[in-house]
Structure 1
């Protein structure tokens, strides 16, 4: 209980910092300098949420229930994990042959064998930040998953398909983002992972809008950190960006210019 209270208080302090950063940038003309604080706060909200899920998965993967690969033993813990995730994620347990169970639907008729991230799980690697259309829910989702090992062999994987729309909404609400701010993140292929405007998620911004946007995206994907300017639907924007070493995502904070 004490640990949970400390985590809650730390999160409240963090979101208050994010909100203060947003207000400071909104009132400042020096977006290039002050905007870095807000961008870092928004980025941390996204990464901490995904990292918290991965930590919970790893803890579950280390239990004897998960290592048993027995769904009857695994389901209660998986259901408990699902209830604790605010982004309404689909929580699942996969077997090495690609079959998988979901916390709310038991054995699925689908298979994960064709997913691009599945070989990494079979190789004992955790997965974080892969974009998919969920086979369980049909939602645009972000995959976070951890392998389950027993006696040096992969016996399964614990996974979560986070709803991208709800993750973006959580960031905007927790940070109290100003209306003239546009926050989004691109994956390594230049596809929009999360966006303040949910209709933009999973698009390739380089394929839409003004040629200046295409040039800006190319710069963002090739440069670890910097500032770009572009136009979108006739409006000028100035954007700060930085690349995450954790997820490989490129986080962007743009502000509409007069």
Structure 2
């Protein structure tokens, strides 16, 4: 029987690429969107889901269970970008980002765990970010929300080990998606002390995304995780230097690593 996969944020970018690839591989794929009616050409089923709304989450999972009868794999992919000097980002935007990137996945995990426990099987894949391994200038809120999801996954794994449910993180680097268009950008204020460094860093970040890797690489990585009997705790997917930067953070003195990041961002 085909495994049933639910992908949050499946209408575009990485989620769309993963959904299409898994469909080709014979999986029964359900993606989610806050507005699925906007994507009539989707190559797999899209259901309405807002990760900030527990009622919406329950309704989406009920739809999957009613139609497919089980749920084998959850891919927590829905997320939002955010940039800006932390001092100047409104508190409401910081809270909104954490609600999408951290509390949203936790809500969905809580909703599917009882079902997977009854099945005595399941796999949960949390899409985090290489940015979650380090505090990046003008991306600090994003780094923190994704880093928190990495740690939540580590804790969850130990708590659910007796239920034959696996959980893992897959952290992408920069990929050529529309995330830059959808992220919250704190405005570059004319009289801000951060005007020039933030403006220059923003241009650099957008260049990295537009020249990023093909999302198909993430689809390949996710497929390998699903077909692995015992997934690892962490996976990283992206440019060699982006992945190597995590290794450098482990071995370099803190201030040396900080200087390396500042040189990269020309700060």
Fold agreement, TM-score > 0.5: no
More helix by percentage:
2
More strand by percentage:
1
